Amino acid sequence: MSRRVVVVGAGFHGCSAALRLSNQGYEVTVIDKAYAGRHASGVNAGGVRRLGRHPAEIPLAIAAWERWQNMTSIVGDDCGFRPVGQIKVAENNNDMAILNERERQVQNLGYHHEKLINRDELRKRLPALAGHCPGGLACDGDGFANPYRTVTAWRREAERQGACFREGIEITDIEPKGNGWRLSGGEEHFDADLLVNCAGAWAGELCKWLGEPVPLTAEAPMLMITERLSPFLGTVVGATSRPLSFKQFENGTVLIGGGVRGVVDIVRHVAETRLDGLAENADTVVSLFPFMKEARIMRTWAGVEAVMRDHIPVIGLSSQHDNVIHAFGFSAHGYQLGPITGEIVADLAMEREPKLPITPFSIQRFQTPCPE
């Protein structure tokens, strides 16, 4: 008999869960207070990156990357994925030492996707880069894709497999009902045997209702996009000691993201940019690509993102209820991981051991008392 599942949140992770659960014959309803892709999943920088991942995330990022190669066979659309590579640039010798150590650490774990490149190789790959940069760490095959198109493709495929999407309904209450749950929003009620929490920056509210609070902060990563420029950048660029993501699209526009955050209003569900923060992000770009000083910014925006205290997501079973699965808190780097979340959620729903190692992402890590 098909089990009823309610997924709260129609971001990439909710759509991924919906698709894989529907594939397995579950009766899936996805509920979103806005619409699919309205928040982080639809407005992000589109970076598809294994480079620089937390060690616990590397196996997931590699598995997700394999799915990105085969996106068309999964959802009938390549989602705009362009495997142009990513490079973390060293701005000085200290950065170079950090990257050297990082390459060694990753190789010691048995992975070889991150490779140190010297000044000459860096210059060959990034001719417009400022001359002072001594090298970088490259990950060939990484790249970028189109976020909103991705969410839409996964949502459509989930619908083709039978999932039902209900938009414009905010879940405001969850209570036990029989062996399952009753979720309420507005005038509507949804009964479920299994609840999947993919509520992004609002997932902490659901956790509170379920009796397992988590240290989640809503942050507002900011982006800006330039006018069309002549092609000068064939790969995605990041920095080593300061946050930066920098890429040029086929139409010539350049997307710039950085570490300085905007302002979140979690109650009104909006994120706003801060001019001083955008200026700081722009400064980083100009110091790496001096000619960008003349580039005109056409548009800026910010998105609401769930950031965990330890900057890795929560993926796994609830610690309190055997019919709740969590997948949230992707801490500003969850877009790339979207394709594998659904597979993990489906394994957990079917009480199968997930094929990927998810122990580090357990919600229980926040419940372990600190050692004396």
Q: Angle at which helices 338-349 and 12-23 pack, to 10 degrees? A: 40
Q: Which is nearer to ligand FAD, 318 or 336 (CB)?
A: 336
Q: Which is nearer to ligand FAD, 99 or 222 (CB)?
A: 222
With b for 16 or more beta-carbon neighbours within 10 A and e for fewer, the 164-181 pattern comes to ebeeebebeebeeeeebb
Q: Which is nearer to ligand FAD, 9 or 136 (CB)?
A: 9
DSSP string computed for 327-339: EE--TT--TTTHH
DSSP reduced 3-state for 189: strand
- Minimum distance between the CB of residue 260 and ligand FAD, rounded to whole angstroms? 12
Q: Which is nearer to ligand FAD, 96 or 159 (CB)?
A: 159
- Minimum distance between the CB of residue 342 and ligand FAD, rounded to whole angstroms? 11
Q: Which is nearer to ligand FAD, 52 or 303 (CB)?
A: 303
β-pairing verdict for 254-261 and 244-248: antiparallel
Q: Which is nearer to ligand FAD, 171 or 288 (CB)?
A: 171
Q: Angle at which helices 12-23 and 147-160 pack, to 10 degrees? A: 20
- Dmax (CA) for the chain in angstroms is 67
β-pairing verdict for 4-8 and 194-197: parallel
- Minimum distance between the CB of residue 301 and ligand FAD, rounded to whole angstroms? 7
Q: Which is nearer to ligand FAD, 18 or 96 (CB)?
A: 18
Amino acid identity at 195: L
229 burial (CB, 10 Å; 0-12 / 13-18 / 19+) is middle
- Minimum distance between the CB of residue 104 and ligand FAD, rounded to whole angstroms? 25
> What is d(CA 68, CA 82) in angstroms, rounded to the nearest whole number?
10
The residue of the chain with the least Cβ separation from ligand FAD equals 11
- Minimum distance between the CB of residue 16 and ligand FAD, rounded to whole angstroms? 8
- Minimum distance between the CB of residue 271 and ligand FAD, rounded to whole angstroms? 7
- Minimum distance between the CB of residue 11 and ligand FAD, rounded to whole angstroms? 2
Q: Which is nearer to ligand FAD, 26 or 202 (CB)?
A: 202
Cβ(115)–Cβ(103) below 8 Å: yes
Residues 6+ apart with CB under 8 A from 30: 6, 7, 9, 10, 14, 15, 18, 36, 155, 158, 163, 164, 165, 166
- Minimum distance between the CB of residue 131 and ligand FAD, rounded to whole angstroms? 27
Instruction: Tell me which residues touch ligand FAD (CB under 6 A).
Output: 8-14, 31-34, 38-41, 43-47, 170-171, 198-202, 221, 223, 245, 257, 303, 305, 328, 330, 332-336
Sign of CA dihedral 277, 278, 279, 283: positive
